Structure 1
Amino acid sequence: MPESVDVLIVAPEPPVYAHPGDAGADLVSAESLRIEPGQRALVGTGVRIALPDGHVAFVVPRSGLAAKHGITIVNAPGTVDAGYRGEIKVALLNTDAAQPYDVAVGDRIAQLIVMPVPRANFIPVDELPDSARGAGGFGSTGYQNGTTS
């Protein structure tokens, strides 16, 4: 099992992991609101954290909300830097074309993933080394002659 990290938190209820081995802990809404079809809303969680240096938290969508209701996060993943001390808010988007979505206090709206992140040393060079992928970009590994593989 990976090593755990201590995260200081101010919250009505700390995020919890639903199952052993889950990567994300559930964030819940601290407010009630309605998100109309095609609209977005910034939803407060009441959670403030202090991450240790060298760590980041990512706010990611919940698969059940996406599959059942078309609810996702606009800036997924949302990045919480180690120096941020404000409330974690979630920018929810209702992608359903017809149905509004009601958020109640205590509803699970996102997941929080805490990870170590190394600091990169960017080293200027004139050319990059070759790789198997090369400069292939979006869709370069999933299509051949216009058909999916």
Structure 2
Amino acid sequence: MRQTVRGIIFCVLGVLIIFITGTAAAAGPQNIQGEIGTSNHFVPLFADVPTSYYNAIFINYLAELELVNGYPDGNFRPFAGLTRAEAAAILVRTADEAELPTAAPFVDVNPNHWAAGSITAAAGAGLVKGYPDGTFQ
């Protein structure tokens, strides 16, 4: 059962990474826009993700599922890449694991860091591992 859940989590994370990082651009934005139309089917949730952006529908969908969040300034930063902390948070949300408010098991994760609870939960569930020196980086 645990392997099935882990497999589902990694599939969802893989799809998420593909769509958010823009590697789905191989399909061509004009093809995707032709399929979803050019009119506003949804309200943009982030200031830097206009409805014309070819991955906007996927980003908004994941945000509505509360699997991804934007930054406090109202942006999503779709080209910024995914940090290990953000990946841990997405994994924990996808697996429906409870965030653990305890100190993270890694020496470089401040307990006040926004993802400390997610990192602790992901490590406890075996979804992420640190480096041999005890860091998460």
Scaled to the shorter chain, the TM-score interval is: under 0.3
Considering only CA atoms, is the larger Rg found in Structure 1 or Structure 2? Answer: 1
What is the TM-score when the length of structure 1 is the normalising length? Answer: 0.20
Higher strand share: 1
Higher helix share: 2
Q: Which has the higher contact order (CA 8 A, sep 6+)?
A: 1
What is the TM-score when the length of structure 2 is the normalising length? Answer: 0.22
